[in-house]
Amino acid sequence: MPTFWIIDTKVQVLPKSSLPQDGSNYYFGRSVVPEDSKEEAIAKLTAALEEDFMTVVEVTSAVDHESKIWDSKEDEDFETNESLEKSKLTGNIELGCFISELSLEG
Amino acid sequence: MSKGAMTLAEGSQAEKYKTDATLILNGTEERQYTLRTAFDSLSVWKAKYAVGMSPFYPSLKTTIKEAALVDNDIWVFGVDGTNPQHIIEAVNIATTFYQVTAREILSNIYIKNLNTEDEPKYDDLDFIVRLNKDLYRSTTEAIREACRHFGINHNINIHVYSANINQKIPQKELHEALKSGGASSVQTDPRGFTFKSGNNLGNKSARIKTNMHVARLEF
């Protein structure tokens, strides 16, 4: 049974990425990655995002999902719980919803 | 004031992702009849968004026969917004279902973040912008043609959600595209909005800042 890692990233997105965009410099994600080690999980997520022209510029956090309850307002925005449920069901990476820098400014 | 509306290119049916069909220039309007349309066929759409539902098949003779009732709105699937015939058939399904006129449904049209399916193939940003401009132009033309089919003789508003500085199609290019498709004027609502929006494949989404642009078709 792999660990389900919850990884927070700050990414830069090329216009040709399929991610819907608003001209922000950065987008923030909280993704779920099933993998044995944290390093492997980060590498797998980075590669998955790169495929769609999203470059990880910073990993701000990477923790075992069991280390806390993912029910904050932020988690609602990132859809953390939905991602966790899906990932446990399918065994796949679940990227969650990215939050644009501009949308954080209100 | 029309109580009806039509959306194009819907993705997920989740409340946060559905296209807001209640905003109008500088205000809001209540809706009683909203026709929502998705580019994907029903089976593709269900696979992407993992929705279980039983479709109903309208008794009308149309080439698009996939429709479903989702949270009290009628949804029609397999609707390519650049194809006037698809728009006409979807409107026919809605007018039969809601028992209203085509005018009621077509008066207010909503589109959120329309993007060419082919985008990731191209490195050239100017080319991506050109493809998206083309998509908005041909969608506007198709809407115009569908309105003519129904003999619409009053103004139609097409509401487009897209960030002014969206690199895939910036405000200026978007307005040009809508006008070249036949809009007599395009105005950007001064309010800023924040919505969630998904990609065409249904496997990525983002919460983004956006603007609303209202294109007017005159008949």
pLDDT in tens, A77-99: 999 999 999 999 999 999 999 99
Angle at CA of residue B191, ends A96 and B134, nearest 5°: 70
Q: How far is B161 from chain A (nearest CA, A)?
A: 11
Best A16, A77, A78, A83 member to test B by mutation, with max B CBs in 10 Å, is A16
Cross-chain Cβ contact B204/A18 below 8 Å: yes
When the pLDDT of each residue in chain B is averaged and rounded to a whole number, the result is 92
Lowest mean pLDDT: which of A44-58, B37-51, B72-86, B190-204? B37-51
Q: How far is residue A47 from each of residues A38, A39, A50, B204, measured CA to CA in Å?
A: 14, 12, 5, 15
Give me the residue spans of the domains in chain B: 4-217
Residue of B nearest to A86 (CA): B50
**Is it the case that residue A60 has pLDDT exceeding 90?**
yes
The CATH number fitting domain B4-217, selected from 3.40.1620, 3.40.50, 1.10.10, 3.10.20: 3.40.50
Are B163 and B210 a contacting pair, CB within 8 Å? yes
Q: Among B165, B201, B203, select the one facing A23 at the smallest CB separation.
A: B165
* Residue range B79-131, pLDDT digits in tens: 999 999 999 999 999 999 999 999 999 999 999 999 887 776 788 899 999 99
Which residue in B72, B203, B214 sits closest to B140, CA to CA? B214
What pLDDT score was predicted for residue B210?
97
Are B167 and A15 a contacting pair, CB within 8 Å? yes
What pLDDT score was predicted for residue B54?
65
Q: Which two tokens stand for residue B219?
A: 């008949």
Q: Which two tokens stand for residue B115?
A: 């993007």
Split at pLDDT 50, 70, 90, the class of B174 is very high
Q: How many A/B residue pairs have CB atoms within 8 Å?
A: 80
Residue of A nearest to B121 (CA): A16
Cα gap B146→B86, rounded to integer Å: 9
Cross-chain Cβ contact A98/B207 below 8 Å: yes
* Residue range B48-88, pLDDT digits in tens: 987 766 666 666 656 777 898 888 899 999 999 999 999 99
Q: Among B120, B204, B210, select the one facing A22 at the smallest CB separation.
A: B210
**Is it the case that residue B218 has pLDDT exceeding 80?**
yes
Chain A residues within an 8 Å CB radius of B133: none
Are A60 and A71 a contacting pair, CB within 8 Å? no
pTM of the model: 0.94
B151 vs B69, residue with greater confidence: B151
Q: Among B122, B203, B209, select the one facing A100 at the smallest CB separation.
A: B209
Cross-chain Cβ contact B163/A23 below 8 Å: yes
What pLDDT score was predicted for residue B2?
78
